[in-house]
Amino acid sequence: MSRPSASAPIGVFDSGLGGLTVARAIAASLPGETLIYLGDTARVPYGTRSAETVIRYARTCGRALAADGIKLLVVACNTVSAVALDMLRVELDLPVLGVIEPGARAAVQASRTGRIGVLATAGTVNSGAYPRAVANVSSKGEVTQLAAPLLVPLVEEGWVDGEVPRLVVERYLAPLIERADIDALVLGCTHYPLVRDVIEAELTRLSPKPVQIVDSGVAAAFELAQLLTDRELRAPHVEGQRGELRLKVTDRPGRFAEVASRFLGRDVESLAVQQIDL
C-alpha cells in the first residue's frame, strides 16, 4: 500500500443518501477533513439485493473513489460493509473502514448481558456479518438479528414521527424484545438514526429492562478518528474552519436536496453536487 497524504480527502461510499448520516458523524468528530461522498443513487437500495450484485456495484464505486485520490475509504453502507469489505480491502490500495466492526465493538461495550439485538436490512442480516463481528470481539455475545425493510422507505418518505412509524417500529421490535431479552440494540442501517426517537420510545415502552442504542455510523466515525491519529493521517485543522464536503451521485439529483438535507442535518443547497455515470 502506497503512503497516502494526510491532506488528501476521505472517501465515503454509500448505496444512496442514507450514508450522509455517517458523513455527518465524521464531520462532527473530524471537522478538518475534506470528504468526498459517493451515493450510488441510480442503484439504491442495496439492502434487498444478493451479495454478488452488491459486490459488483461496490467494486465500481470503490474504484471511482480511489481514482479521486482519497487517503482512506469509509464504507457507510451496512450492506456493503457486510458483504463487500474484504473485496474492497483486497482490490483497493487503501485503508478501508466499514461500519459493522465498529458497530459490533460498540455494542459489546454497551451491553452488560451480551444479549445484543441488530436491526438491519435483509442483505445485512442474511450476511451474518454482525454476529460474526461480535463473536470476533467477545465470546459471550449473543446476537439476535431482525430485518426491518420498511424503515428505509419510511425515512425516505419523511414519515419519521407520528402513528405510522410508531406502529411499524412496534411491529418489528415487539417480537425481538419478547424473544431475545436484549440490553443493547444496534442501528445497523444508515437510515435508522432518523427514527432513533421512535425506536427509543418503543424500547422504553416494550422492554422490561433498559436497552442501549448503538449507532454504527457514530461508532465508525469514532474509530476513524483513532485510525487517522494512529497512522498520522489527520488533516491539519484550522480552528473555526469546516472541511469541505463534495457530493457525487449516480442518478440525476431530482428530490436530492430535500432528502440529503434530512440525512445530513443541515442544508445541502450550498454544496456542490456532481452526477457521474458508473
Among 2, 255, 269, 270, binds its own copies (CB under 8 A): 255
17 lies in the binding site for its own copies (CB under 8 A): no
Q: Does 167 bind its own copies (CB under 8 A)?
A: yes
Spell out a b/e string for 12-34, using b for 16 or more CB atoms within 10 Å of the CB, else e: bbbbbbbbbbbbbbbbeebebbe
Helix (H, G, I), strand (E, B) or coil at 131: helix
Cα 72 to chain centroid distance, Å, stands at 16
- The count of chain residues that interact with its own copies, using the rule CB under 8 A, is 27
Q: Is residue 242 at the binding interface for its own copies, with CB under 8 A as the rule?
A: no
The verdict on whether 77 is a catalytic residue reads yes
181 in contact with its own copies (CB under 8 A):
no
**Binding range to its own copies, per CB under 8 A, among 49-57, 112-120, 130-138, 199-207:** 49-57
**String marking each residue 186-225 x if it binds its own copies according to CB under 8 A:** ----------------------------------------
Annotated catalytic residue within 77, 119, 186, 214? 77
d(C-alpha 125, C-alpha 244), whole Å: 34
Q: Which is nearer to its own copies, 212 or 261 (CB)?
A: 261
**End-to-end Cα separation, the chain, in angstroms:** 25
The dihedral through the CA atoms of 221, 223, 227, 229 has a sign that is positive
Binding mask 127-166 for its own copies (x = CB under 8 A): ----------------------xx-xxx-xx-x---xx--
Site for its own copies in 68-127 (CB under 8 A): 122
Q: Which residue is it, cell 458523524?
A: 25
Residue bearing cell 469541505: 244
When the beta carbons of 7 and 50 are compared against its own copies, the nearer one is: 50
Hey, what amino acid is at 91?
Answer: E
Active site includes 61?
A: no
CB 41 to its own copies: min, Å: 8
3-class SS letters over 65-78: HHCCCCCEEEECCH
